[in-house]
Amino acid sequence: AQSVTQLDSHVSVSEGTPVLLRCNYSSSYSPSLFWYVQHPNKGLQLLLKYTSAATLVKGINGFEAEFKKSETSFHLTKPSAHMSDAAEYFCVVSAAGAGSYQLTFGKGTKLSVIP
């Protein structure tokens, strides 16, 4: 069984300040982990993914995430927020390593960027 908890449903930051979106996961197997972003009225776009290589993963648009097995966390960060980062972000865990087809999604964190 696997689950994902996004610790904040809404995060608000000022433009130019750092972004931290928190995600904890639970998985019976070595997981693959993802962050997706969804802009209003759009589909989901893959930001980055972790698949048991380097624990610090770099994604698009300056985002990165660090896999911490001891803390079962996969937090998403960006050094400096831009207005275009305002969107909803989903942390996702895959149990593909266990032969499952299923992705498990967190409930999402809505990021607001204040000018």
Partner 1 sequence: DAGITQSPRHKVTETGTPVTLRCHQTENHRYMYWYRQDPGHGLRLIHYSYGVKDTDKGEVSDGYSVSRSKTEDFLLTLESATSSQTSVYFCATGESTDTQYFGPGTRLTVL
Could you give the angle at the alpha carbon of 37 between the alpha carbons of 33 and 39, nearest 5°? 165
Q: Which is nearer to partner 1, 52 or 80 (CB)?
A: 52
Is 29 near partner 1 (CB under 8 A)?
Answer: no
Is 96 near partner 1 (CB under 8 A)?
Answer: yes
Residue type, 67: F
Q: Which two tokens stand for residue 48?
A: 């980055």
Is 49 near partner 1 (CB under 8 A)?
Answer: yes
Three-state secondary structure call for residue 98: helix
Is 34 near partner 1 (CB under 8 A)?
Answer: yes
Among 55, 61, 80, 102, binds partner 1 (CB under 8 A): 102
Contact 73, 23 (CB under 8 A): yes
Contact 48, 65 (CB under 8 A): yes
Min dist CB 73 to partner 1, Å, is 18
Q: Which is nearer to partner 1, 17 or 39 (CB)?
A: 39
